[in-house]
Structures are given as C-alpha cells and as structure tokens.
Structure 1
Amino acid sequence: MHPVYAELHMHSPWSFLDGGSGLEALVRRARELEIPALALTDHNNVCAAVKFTSLCQAYGIQPILGAELTMEDGTHLTLLARNRQGHASLCALISRAYSHGGRLTPRLPWSALGIEGWAVPAPDGGRTDAPPDARAPVPAHGLLCLSGCRRGVLPWLIRTHNYAEALRTAETLRDVFGRDSFHIELQEDFTPHCHRVNRELARLADHVGVGVVATNNVHYAVPEDYPAHEILRCIATKTTREAPHPDKPLNSERRLKSARQMADLFAWRPDAVVNTLRIAESCEPALPGREDVTPAYPLPHGHTDAAAYLRHLVYNGARARYGCVGAEGTVPPMRAHTASQRIIARIEHELRIITELGYADYFLMCWEIVRWARRQGIRATGRGSAADSCVAYCLTLTDVDVIQRNLPFARFLAPGKTPDI
C-alpha cells in the first residue's frame, strides 16, 4: 500500500535565522511530493499564518497552523491549532511568552499551561523566575501538543538518562492536553544519539499510553537549500562554517521528505507515520475565511444603528473642522456657499460607500481607539491612504483636509478594497 504522510513540523523564514527556504518553495515542494497536509511551526510566532494558508490553498494542500514555543527552561514544545479556538489559544500563549521573556528571548512559563512545580533544570540556563502575571494559566483549548525536536524537554531528559523525570513529564503533558491531543515526536535526522533517543521515546509513549508521531523538523525544501540554512545558523550563533556549535546543523536531513522516505525511516514504528495523517484529519481551518469578521460596535444609549451614529459623529466633526456645515448635513443660515455644498457632497459620498460596504462599525472602532489613545497621552493618527477620507478627517483620525487638497476617496476605499486606517 502506498504510504501517506503529513509534515507536522516545519519552519519558514519567519523562524528568524533558521528557515532556509521561502514559504512558496516549501509549499510547492510539498505539492511535488504529494504531501496532503503541512503544519507551519515557526519559532514563537504565527507571523506567516495568512500567507501560508493562502499558498496551501492555491497548491491544494491542507494548512495547519502551529508554533514551536521556547519554554522558560530553554526547551521547545510544538503546539498545533486544531481549530479557530486553538489558534486563539496559541496566540495567547505566544503573547504570554513575549511578555515574560521579552522581544528577543520569548520564554513561556510552564505554569501558563497549568503545569506547576517543575523541577527540570534549564538546559540553556533559561529564565525560570516568571512574574505572577506571566504564570497565570492560559486555557489551552483546541490545541494539539507534540513533544518537540531534539531540544524538547523529553528528548533532553532521555539524552541525559533522566528516565524517571521523563516519565513524570510525559504523564503531566498527557494529563494537561489529553491522551488524544498529546503525541511524542520521533525525528530520524542521523544526529548523535538519535536512534537511541527515538526508541526510548517510543517506549515512553507506550508506557504512558499516548501516540507517537513522525516529523522531520523541516527547515528547507530541498537539499540544495541546506547551505543557506547553514549560513543562517552561522549568523545566529556568531560562528564560521568550520566552527562546531550545538545549535548548527550537522547534515542536510531537515528537508521535506516523501511519504515513502518517511515510511522507510520509521519502518520500525509505522504507526508514527500513520498518525501524521490522523492528526491532520482532526484539524479544521484555524483562520476565518474572507468574510467580514468585524465585530459590532457597542453603540451608546439612544443609538441603535451604527451607520446613523457614524453620520452623527461625522457631522459633529465637520462642524468643528469646517464651521460651515450644520447638523446632519444642513447648511447654517447665512453660510450657504459653494464650499459648504462641496463638503456635504463629499461626506455623503463617503458615508454611502462606507455604509454599502459594511464598514460603519470599523470606522467607529477606529474612532474609539484613537480617542482612547489620546486620552492616555498616546499619539495616534491614521496612516497611508486614510488621509484621502473626509470622514476620517472629520472623526479626527487624520489631519489632512481632503477638500483643500482635492484628494480622491477612491484611493482609500472603493468596492473590492479594504480600508486600512
């Protein structure tokens, strides 16, 4: 029977100084190898989620979103989003890691996963003194957990012959994520101790009653991209190509491999390959579609329609900005002149398009955000083509008078375009 394999551990250039191939090159190669599903697991971020999803859809591949998180002790843990709720949980955990460790060295406290009392020593001297707010548990709903690469806590404990601690750790992760949502990763990359560690990990999985899953910790699409990956790791470790370093690759095995190659590597444990497809089939789309997902703006008492409330605010702002415009588009007595009519016509034109395209709530939220920021003493203003909107000017989102400068609204918003304020 022809084997089927889904790659559930892959890095792109968004794993900074660690991804040797572009996103499209990775997805295109997966298509060539007839890989039905790919999981993107960049280090501590989901920055490429939208682009990755679009590319996978274009190439007919199921996208799975995830991340390889760096824990407070320096070990790695792979998390996959089973659905939209899982993606939200993953984003919350990533935010927690950055709030704890900082922009350059994000570290997720184990307690954020509801795991307390860890006694695992930090293999890289990682920080283990997270402040109380960083230690509060984040609900891990909708997440699948894989035990990670060679820098995962379980492989590290096995390599250091700490079997009792490895057993306790595996049982804890199983209990936190659930028996069906936690798998122990096996990676045959021909590095020192690889074969021994994999067999110990497989025995550990059997002992605690969880599945094993084969991944290849992909960092580039084809062997020809290995030199680029090697150079990136030299930059990251500040070493020359000849200088050894534990965080530099030893060979070109971390490429996308076919189902047959993976089946041959794991002939001693075929369920590890079979489980890749089972996991992929359990995952739903983690990102919303192209439909509008703008939430409804909470209208104040006495207002029931977002478009009407937006009109009210815009004309209040127009009176403050121009002075020659009355309430709701009227022209004050003794002030009727061409400028007033021109301003009102422009506002009405913009409001009609904004309302027809369903962006009234969006403008109200932008107005609320900018108003709040300014009350806090934070400088805030619109950007880019938002300066072409008279509505944005009247709401004080921008400070460019589109009437005086004769700026076209269509450059900012028109059917088929999305506003970006």
Structure 2
Amino acid sequence: MSRYAELAAASNFSFLRAASHPEELVTTAAALGLEALGIADRNSVAGVVRAWGAGRRVGGSLKVLAGARLVFADGTPDLICYPSDRAAWGRLTRLLTLGKRRAPKGGCDLSLGDFLDHAEGQLGVVLPPAPGEAGGADFPRRLQDLARARRGWLWLGGVRRYGPRDLQELARLETLGAAAGAPLVAVGEVLYHDARRRPLQDVLTCIREGCTIHEAGLRLEANAERRLKSPAEMARLFARFPGAVERSLEIAGRVGFDLSELRYEYPDEPVPAGKTPMQHLRDLTWEGAGWRFEAGMGEAERRTIAHELDLIEKLGFPNYFLTVHDIIRWARAQGILCQGRGSAANSVVCFCLGITAVDPTKKDQDLLFSRFISEARGEPPDIDVDFEHERREEVMQYLFRRYGRDRAAIAATVIHFRPRMAIRQVGKALGLTEDVTAALAGTVWGPWSGMSPDPYIRQAGLDPDAPEIRRATTLAGELLGFPRHLSQHVGGYVLTRGRLDEIVPISNAAMPDRTFIEWDKDDIDTLGLMKVDILALGMLTALRKAFEMIPPRADGTRLTDIAQVPQEVPQVYDMLCRADSVGVFQVES
C-alpha cells in the first residue's frame, strides 16, 4: 500500500496564485488517504489556522503541517519551510516579520542571509525553477550554498510537470541533489484540490498579471495537474526514482510542531510589589465601587461583585481586565472620552473599574453577566471600548509604545471577493467588453447562495446561456469568498506577554505607524488568543464637545463623563415614543 505526504500545497491565501480554500485542501487530502498535508503559502502563514481547524474537524490520521513558502528577493530559489518544534516556529514567524516590516504593505523582502540567521530547526524543501524560468542557470550553485549550510535539513523537490522531458529533468535534479547533499523528494506543487479548479486558477493568474486569458500565454499552467494526488498516483509517477515518495513521509515525521502548542499568555500589568494580579484587580474593583455607589452598597451589590471576581479568578482572566483598565485609565488621563459597550455593560466589575458607565445592578435592568463571561464557555470575555474618533489614534499609538511593536499588533481583516468585484474581475480576465461586464455587475444577485442569477442577467439584456456569459458567472461564483488581500481590523489589538512575532508574523499596514498580524478574529478565536477592541465613535466626540458647551453647575463642576449624565430621563422616552428623535444622541439596541 502506497503512502505519501504532500509538502508543497498552496491555498488561496497565496493571494491570486492558488485556487482552493485551505479547508478544501484538507478535506480532499483526507479523502485521498494522504499521511500529511503541508500548507505552505507564499511568504505567509495566513491560511494555516483554517487548515489546522479543518484537520481537527476531519479527524482521522491526516497530519496538517503549518509552514511557508519563502520567496527571496536576492535570487535564492524558493524554499518550503516547516518548523521542527515550537522554537523553530517562533524563528519562522520572526523571519517573516523581518521581511514584511522592511517592505510596504503586502510585500516581503527576504535574503538568504536572513533565512540562515533563523534556520535552526527549519526543515526545507528547495523548489527548482521550472524549465524556461529565470534562475535556472544559476540554480546548481545556489543549491550548493543552501545545502552546505543546512546539510541534513534540506531536500530538493521534484515535480512531475507532464512535459516532454519530465523524466530527464527529474533525473538531472536527482543527480544534482545527491551531489549537493539535498536528496530528491516528490512534491506536487499543488495549487488546487481538484482539477476542475484549473480554469479559476487561470483567471486568478490573469487578475494578478493584469491581462486577459487571450494574452496570458505561458504565464498560465500547461495542464490541470497542479492538483492533489493520491499516494498510489504519486508512487506511479515517481516509480523511477526510488525513495522520492518515501522521503516525503520522513520529512513530515520530523515536523514536531503543531499549532495547538501556541500557548497564549496575557501581558503582565503594573502590579504593586507583593500583590498578585488578582489581588490588585480586587483592590481596584472595591475601590471603584466606593465612588460608583456613592449612596452606599447594599448586600446584593456586594454579593454580585464578589461572585464576578471569584469567577474571573477561577477562569484566569484578571490580567485581561487589568489591561483594559490600564487603557481606559490612560485615555481618561489625557481627557479622551471613552466608553465600554456590549455585553461588558452587564458586568459590575467593569462598572466599578470605570470601563462602562451604566450601573447593571438597577432593579429595572436585568443582570446578564453570563452573556459576558461564563464558566461553561471557558473563553475570554470580549470588552469593546469606544473612544472619540478624533483621538482614537492617540490610544492606538499608546498601545504600541506601551507594549512595543513585537508584543502588540492589530488583528487582520480578510478582504474577500464579493459579487460585483468577482464578476468585474472575471469578466475582465475573460476579455468581456466593458459594457457587458458593467451590465453583469449591475444586476442584483445577492450572495448567490442557492439561487441562480439568470433572471437578473436577462433583465440586464443578456443571455445567461451564452457560453461566454455562463463561463463568467460560473467562475465568478467560484471566486466568491476567496481572499483578495489582508487589511487591518478596525481596532482589534492582540497583546502578549512575550513576543507576539514568535506566534504570528507582523506586517506593515497601509496607514503610517500601524502594524497588524496575519490572522483575523476567527483565527484568533480558534487559537484562543486575546483581542482588545479599541474602536472609534464619532458621537463620543460630539458628546465631549457638548460637555464643553454646557455651563458649569452651581458648585463650579462640569460634566466630563457619561456616568455623570442623568439617566432614565422621562422626557427623552416621551420624545422617542412620538418618533421625535431629532437631536437625540443615539439609540442603541
């Protein structure tokens, strides 16, 4: 029985280069009976969490490997890299951070020297240039340089491209690798899970290259063989090269790192000497209760505070609350109006810490603390904090200064292809005229989930059954939901005690002085990382300016905080009942 591990699979997080979601690759690999599947996207680990999560759902014996395809700026051949342990993963993500931080958003500038500085524990598969590609003449020397530095940790990837001189080329590579000390290993250089995705991959190439399918020429793949293959098929394809398929299993077996090893640690907060974080949180909470409940606390309020504090301690979240308290404290010290919202408003601890301004213990308000934090869910609470939109940037830069660029970064947001963008890009790639593409993009198709756009296409004066129209709509439907590029989250920060760039690569954002990680909120949730949302709200700016316009009270004090605003004003409710809401600040659900 044949056995095989695919070590060179790219997902659609190799933006505009590969034509399958990570989950599709994992599901198909398991169905084909592969021992392992390595996800190695171009200078990125953006898709590995989704692949890892899919592997856990699929179950079985498939091992999902997290790596990256390193593409160098100095002519060094592409190198697929897999960390052998947790420390090596940290070196890989620091290497990618180095390349991304010295390049504009979306770029990565790496050299061979950069890799060698971070090479300890990295298992590498060198991918030779395809026949006719640039760099072929210099490849033997560069392979020698790499193999000399990484002997015992380096292999040479061999690919069946179904060309007329395939076997001759593989024989040449086998000889070359043996001389350099980099044994030949079979790889598929996979771009999609199924051959039926080849047309979409052609379209992605055209979008990336800014050309039509008729102009693409040799930039397109020669056939549909960049698909996942079964162990039996790989054994047949490499039958003349003993050991090439078996070495894929050897390499996969040496990859000892799994994403489950990424243990998140909350940042250490300033805690007075001799105190634990939990003791400090208790002291801050009871101190805050003294001024929040000016009329005095009843027994019910005391029991509620004690219950919340005990649960926070039991679940190990005191540092999270101290982190948010520190941010709020700093902002208020600068005169920046801020306000926690959402389920955090159900927490008396948040109220006492000054994170929220509405007392959740009032008799006419249900206390739903379990919406905010629950022992049954066992996940970190989510505290969203709004800041004045004109001054939110000051708070964001405070976090970068407070934690450093290697311990704080914004979460990513994946920008996906949506219907209008998809049909415009596909139409352009297929060479449809601009008026036809515009007419298709102007139809209201919704999400295309379980419905046909045909009636809307007819309304636009086009025939949905015309071959070029059907091809465009079919490919656009496949493209929907594909990642276009990574952007920064509106304000979700990931903060760590140790180096964040040893967990995930950090990139430059398009905005000056902003940096963000490669994983979005879903990836963060999957791995159990902590996210603090630093959000902007224009109405807080309006409120702060309104406070400045309101004359001082008789005692000389002024309104400076939302908690000082009289609540439950009957006249406001009467206005809303009459739909007379002009001039009312904001109505929330």
Cα distance in 2, alignment partners of residues 191 and 371 from structure 1: 66
Correspondence for 1:364: 322
Cα distance in 2, alignment partners of residues 201 and 375 from structure 1: 65
CA contact (8 A) 2:315 2:378 kept: no
For residues 352-397 of structure 1, what are the alpha-carbon distances to aligned partners after superposition, in whole Å with 9 as ceiling and x for unaligned? 2111112223433454566678889999986864454343444455
CA 1:86–1:388: 2 relative to 1, 3 Å: farther
For residues 230-266 of structure 1, what are the alpha-carbon distances to aligned partners after superposition, in whole Å with 9 as ceiling and x for unaligned? 2222222222222225543221111000112112222
1:351 and 2:309 equivalent? yes
Correspondence for 1:89: 91
CA contact (8 A) 2:269 2:322 kept: no
CA contact (8 A) 2:348 2:361 kept: yes
CA contact (8 A) 1:221 1:256 kept: yes
Q: Which amino acid aligns with 1:355?
A: E
For residues 314-361 of structure 1, what are the alpha-carbon distances to aligned partners after superposition, in whole Å with 9 as ceiling and x for unaligned? 3334445x252xxxxxxxxxx3355xx555443322212111112223
Q: Which amino acid aligns with 2:371?
A: R
CA 1:238–1:351: 2 relative to 1, 3 Å: same
Q: Which amino acid aligns with 1:99?
A: R
Cα distance in 1, alignment partners of residues 11 and 176 from structure 2: 30
Cα distance in 1, alignment partners of residues 337 and 91 from structure 2: 31
Q: Which residues in structure 2 correspond to 1:310-349 (within 5 Å)? A: 310-319=281-290, 322=292, 324=294, 335-336=295-296, 338=298, 343-349=301-307
1:173 and 2:151 equivalent? no
Correspondence for 2:200: 228
Q: Which amino acid aligns with 1:169?
A: R
1:262 and 2:234 equivalent? yes
CA 1:98–1:195: 2 relative to 1, 3 Å: farther
Correspondence for 1:206: 178
Correspondence for 2:12: 13
CA contact (8 A) 1:84 1:288 kept: no
Correspondence for 1:59: 59
CA RMSD of aligned residues (A): 3.3
CA 1:230–1:167: 2 relative to 1, 3 Å: closer
CA 1:408–1:224: 2 relative to 1, 3 Å: same
Q: Which amino acid aligns with 1:144?
A: L
CA contact (8 A) 2:83 2:121 kept: yes
Instruction: Identify the match of residue 122 of structure 2 among 143, 146, 150.
Output: 143
| Structure 1 residue 147, shift from structure 2 partner | 1.0
Q: Secondary structure at the match of 2:66?
A: strand
Q: Which amino acid aligns with 2:64?
A: P
CA 1:374–1:196: 2 relative to 1, 3 Å: farther
CA contact (8 A) 1:78 1:147 kept: yes
Q: Secondary structure at the match of 2:259?
A: coil
CA contact (8 A) 2:67 2:81 kept: yes
1:409 and 2:375 equivalent? no
Correspondence for 1:253: 225
Sequence identity of aligned pairs in percent? 30
Correspondence for 1:331: none
Instruction: Identify the match of residue 110 of structure 1 among 100, 106, 112.
Output: 112
Correspondence for 1:285: 257
Correspondence for 1:308: 279
CA contact (8 A) 1:82 1:286 kept: no
| Structure 1 residue 142, shift from structure 2 partner | 2.4
CA contact (8 A) 1:263 1:270 kept: no
The farther-off stretch of 295-304 and 34-43 is 295-304
Correspondence for 2:28: 29
Cα distance in 2, alignment partners of residues 372 and 294 from structure 1: 22
The alignment's TM-score, normalised by the length of structure 1, stands at: 0.78
Cα distance in 2, alignment partners of residues 378 and 315 from structure 1: 24
Correspondence for 1:48: 47
Correspondence for 2:386: none
For residues 180-227 of structure 1, what are the alpha-carbon distances to aligned partners after superposition, in whole Å with 9 as ceiling and x for unaligned? 211111111235875554333322211112222111111111112222
CA contact (8 A) 2:6 2:34 kept: yes
CA 1:394–1:51: 2 relative to 1, 3 Å: farther
CA contact (8 A) 1:223 1:252 kept: yes
Q: Which amino acid aligns with 1:418?
A: E
Q: Which amino acid aligns with 2:181?
A: G
CA 1:387–1:13: 2 relative to 1, 3 Å: farther
Q: Secondary structure at the match of 2:70?
A: strand
Correspondence for 2:189: 217
Q: Which amino acid aligns with 1:354?
A: I
Q: Which amino acid aligns with 1:336?
A: G
CA contact (8 A) 1:347 1:391 kept: yes
The farther-off stretch of 208-217 and 390-399 is 390-399
Cα distance in 2, alignment partners of residues 379 and 37 from structure 1: 52
CA 1:319–1:337: 2 relative to 1, 3 Å: closer
Cα distance in 2, alignment partners of residues 100 and 231 from structure 1: 31
Q: Secondary structure at the match of 1:104?
A: coil
